[in-house]
């Protein structure tokens, strides 16, 4: 069976789709078979995939959309075609999120450099814990070296969950490549490559 990764965060704009795309394209670069599921009605991941299809004959991954309660079926179906299935979820925490959490082998919560993002994380942690999962926090859009980044990191240490050491910085290349149907790792060599490779190593090289 494929490994299922659910990306969840109550607050919009925390970078869920960016993280999902970064992981998916990072895995593709490693030769891993990947599938992504978009359960967010906003459809950002779906638009990224369609842009990717227009750009290249073979997008290199499987894609599906699903309502909250269709996640289990889509995971089962795509799990026959992929080694890893990544689920992008809506920016809310309610019963609709539970199926995506239940299916997950890994729950990742992106947090930007914001106390508001940090506060919004508590609801996701609670739901994930109730589902028997141990969520992990990934810092995203980090402005390294700033006082705010240090404050948010310090406050996050009190959440009682694992915080992954590798983070994704606030770099234009993440947004730029997203709009092109790509991942940052597929673009020109940049410091983003080192960030992505460090994150991939922590998540998959164990």
Predicted confidence (pLDDT) per residue in 48-76, tens digit = 999 999 999 999 999 999 987 899 999 99
Distance (Å, whole) CA 163 – CA 36: 24
The top-level CATH class assigned to 3-204 is alpha beta
Element at 105 (helix H, strand E): none
Considering only residues 194 and 151, tell me which one the structure prediction assigns the higher pLDDT. Answer: 194
The domain spans of the chain are: 3-204
Split at pLDDT 50, 70, 90, the class of 152 is confident
Res 12: pLDDT: 79
Do the beta carbons of residue 178 and residue 23 sit within 8 Å?
no
pLDDT band, residue 157 (cuts 50/70/90): confident
* Tens-place pLDDT, residues 87-116: 999 887 777 889 999 999 999 999 887 777
């Amino acid at each position: 069976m494929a490994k299922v990764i659910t990306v969840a965060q109550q607050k919009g704009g925390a970078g869920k789709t960016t993280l999902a795309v970064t992981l998916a394209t990072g895995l593709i670069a490693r030769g891993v078979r990947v599938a992504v599921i978009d359960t967010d009605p906003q459809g950002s991941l779906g638009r990224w995939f369609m842009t990717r299809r227009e750009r290249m004959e073979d997008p290199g991954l499987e894609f599906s959309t699903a309502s909250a309660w269709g996640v289990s079926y889509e995971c089962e179906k795509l799990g026959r075609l992929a080694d890893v299935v990544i689920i992008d979820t809506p920016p809310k925490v309610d019963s609709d999120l539970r199926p995506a959490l239940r299916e997950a082998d890994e729950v990742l919560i992106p947090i930007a450099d914001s106390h508001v993002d940090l506060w919004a994380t508590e609801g996701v942690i609670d739901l994930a814990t109730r589902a028997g999962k141990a969520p992990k926090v990934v810092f995203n859009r980090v402005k390294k070296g700033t006082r705010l980044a240090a404050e948010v990191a310090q406050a996050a240490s009190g959440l009682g969950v694992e915080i992954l050491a590798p983070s994704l910085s606030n770099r234009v290349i993440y947004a730029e490549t997203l709009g092109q149907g790509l991942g940052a790792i597929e673009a020109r060599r940049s410091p983003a490559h080192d960030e992505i490779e460090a994150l991939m190593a922590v998540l998959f090289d164990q």
